[in-house]
Amino acid sequence: MALKRKSKQFNWHRKHLLGLRELSAEEITYILDTARGFEQVSTRSVKKAPPLRGKVVVNLFFEDSTRTRNSFSLAASRLSADIIEFTKKLSSVSKGETLLDTAKNLEAMGIDIVVVRHSAGGASRFLSRNMNACIINAGDGFCEHPTQGLLDVYTIRKIKGTLEGLKIAIVGDIAHSRVARSDMWAMTKLGAEVTFVGPPTLMPTEVGRLPVKVSYSLDEVIEKVDVINMLRIQFERLGGNPFPSIREYSHYFGLTVERMKRAKSDILVMHPGPINRGLEMESEVADGRNSVILEQVTNGLAVRMAVLFLVNQAAAQKLKT
Amino acid sequence: MKVILDTKQIEQILRDLTKNIISDTPPDLDIAVIGIRSRGEVLAQRLSSRLSQELGKDVPCGTLDITLYRDDLNSPRGNSQPHVRTTEIGFNIDDKIIILVDDVLYTGRSTRAAMAALIDLGRPRAIKLAVLVDRIGREMPIHADYAGYKTDAAPVKLVQVNLVESDGKDEVVIE
């Protein structure tokens, strides 16, 4: 029982969450610990608590999303905030309005927190430098998707107890994956050993400078890892011909029932969604006993509630000083 | 620093609280004990095991984290940054008599937050407040149904409850 009264407690002070690269292990752990307290809000009779009452959250999404946008909306509603849903297709962006003008106009209506997804890396950082509102990055280009990284380590920690010493493979289209990057930062900071697995054409050019191992063969790593995170092939981002055919990719890098027979019996199978069933993962594996894909979604809600709560608290503290 | 309650006195207070709760509660009604984090949690555990023993039936015990219901979240004072922790109540509170337990009742704001939090969990038959120390200085219309020790300590003083489970020793001191 952690009840020590005089121990100096960690204080969260960031009013933006832009990426996990800049966070310390202590900050990441603090978010995960805070998220534990939000899980029960979703399981009880009144699925709502009051800490963001009177606050306005904008979901500013310039790219498509099902899970992340709905998860942030629900997280904000459960904390009693009001929500504005912004999607590119239904907005004045099609009339030529810039990102900053769109954001500034929303800010003029008195919003408090902006959750932003954009195809340009650094979009959320750009907004954080030009606005007073709290900014949460919900995916920027190929850079980061911090709440996905957090919910992934939250899910692993909840089941395995700790990330310290775990071997984790992240498989697939690493080059175009902001999830792979946020996962890598969170997992390595918490003490796991991460291996990027995929064809050389789908490895980021900077991979040699990242704190990861690299493998071009899933068969080489499948027996060794405690957790395997299968990324989606992002057809919408692929240029050129990174692999000869989908069948060939699937043959070498798909998570099949056959490959799972060689994995550890307690391996955790993860996927950030949406799944291309039969391509990066066979349906039997996606729905199998090692899969925690739906737990990831459930945990994402608690993690996003924690993040919304913490950035708002940091803003309230700053207002006072 | 002045010790206002020692181990023996705390023991006696818990014994008296248990007796009074039992004599007030019709035997056909279900009681449960819920402690407010952190010191209320420890006191609630002690109270529920005493009640279970005396009544010869299981009196469930839970822990309530009131952080999300605090009234100062958007106007934080001093360095008291709120830390969200878990609420652990593994039973249905509907129709039960809930004995809400805290170490010190002072402004009444924690109790208000706790009542708001409890009502989001269900509809108890009644909520009764039991505290070890009842300190003058209420800022809300709230009173304790069961209070161990009353003090009129001046506002500048700190009333601190130490318990074996969390602090290694049972005592209440005024600093």
Tell me the C-alpha distance between B133 and B141, whole Å: 17
Whether B76 has its CB under 8 Å from any CB of chain A: the answer is yes
Residue A108 backbone dihedrals phi, psi, to 5 degrees: -65, -20
Determine the pLDDT at residue A320: 61
Tell me, yes or no, whether B13 lies in a domain.
Answer: yes
> What stretches of chain A show up as alpha helix (H) in DSSP?
25-39, 67-78, 99-108, 123-130, 146-160, 178-189, 218-221, 246-253, 257-260, 283-286, 293-320
Residues spanned by the domain of B35: 2-19+30-71+87-174
pLDDT of chain A, 321 residues: tens digit per residue: 334 444 457 889 999 999 999 999 999 999 999 999 999 999 988 999 999 999 999 999 999 888 999 999 999 999 999 999 988 777 777 677 889 999 899 999 999 999 999 999 999 999 999 999 999 999 999 999 999 999 999 999 999 999 999 999 999 999 999 999 999 999 999 999 999 999 999 999 999 999 999 999 999 999 999 999 999 988 877 777 778 888 999 999 999 999 999 999 999 999 999 999 999 999 999 999 999 999 999 999 999 999 999 999 999 987 765
**Residue A268 and residue A226 in contact, taking contact as beta carbons nearer than 8 Å:** yes
Q: At B151, which helix (H) or strand (E)?
A: strand B146-151
Tell me, yes or no, whether B82 lies in a domain.
Answer: no
- State how far residue B119 is from chain A, nearest Cα, in angstroms: 9
Residues in B touching A36 (Cβ below 8 Å): 85-86
Determine the pLDDT at residue A319: 72
Confidence of residue B93 (pLDDT cuts 50, 70, 90): very high
Tell me the C-alpha distance between A16 and A132, whole Å: 10
Tell me, yes or no, whether B105 lies in a domain.
Answer: yes
Domains of chain A: 25-144+299-316 (3.40.50.1370), 146-297 (3.40.50.1370)
Determine the pLDDT at residue A279: 92
Tell me, yes or no, whether B81 lies in a domain.
Answer: no
Residue B151's domain is classified under what CATH number? 3.40.50.2020
**Residue A18 and residue A128 in contact, taking contact as beta carbons nearer than 8 Å:** yes
Determine the pLDDT at residue B84: 95
Number of structural domains found in chain B = 1
Tell me, yes or no, whether B132 lies in a domain.
Answer: yes
Whether B158 has its CB under 8 Å from any CB of chain A: the answer is no
Q: Can you tell me whether residue A158 is helix, strand or coil?
A: helix
- State how far residue A199 is from chain B, nearest Cα, in angstroms: 43
Q: Can you tell me whether residue A80 is helix, strand or coil?
A: coil
Q: Letter for the amino acid at A110? A: G
- A318 vs B16, higher pLDDT: B16
Q: What is the pLDDT of residues A79-138, one digit of tens each?
A: 999 999 988 777 777 677 889 999 899 999 999 999 999 999 999 999 999 999 999 999
| Residue whose C-alpha is closest to residue A103's, from A178, A89, A82, A117 | A117
Cβ-based interface (< 8 Å): residues of A facing B? 1, 3-5, 9, 11-12, 33-34, 36-41, 44-46, 48-51, 54, 79, 306, 309, 312-313, 316-317, 320
Confidence of residue B2 (pLDDT cuts 50, 70, 90): very high
**Residue A15 and residue A134 in contact, taking contact as beta carbons nearer than 8 Å:** yes
Tell me the C-alpha distance between A252 and B5, whole Å: 71
Tell me, yes or no, whether B15 lies in a domain.
Answer: yes
On the question of pLDDT at B33 being above 90, the answer is: yes
Residue of B nearest to A307 (CA): B84
Confidence of residue B76 (pLDDT cuts 50, 70, 90): low
Residues 11-70 of B with CB under 8 A from A: 38-39, 41-42, 65, 67-69
Tell me, yes or no, whether B24 lies in a domain.
Answer: no
* Segment among A93-97, A313-317, B47-51, B152-156 with least mean pLDDT: A93-97
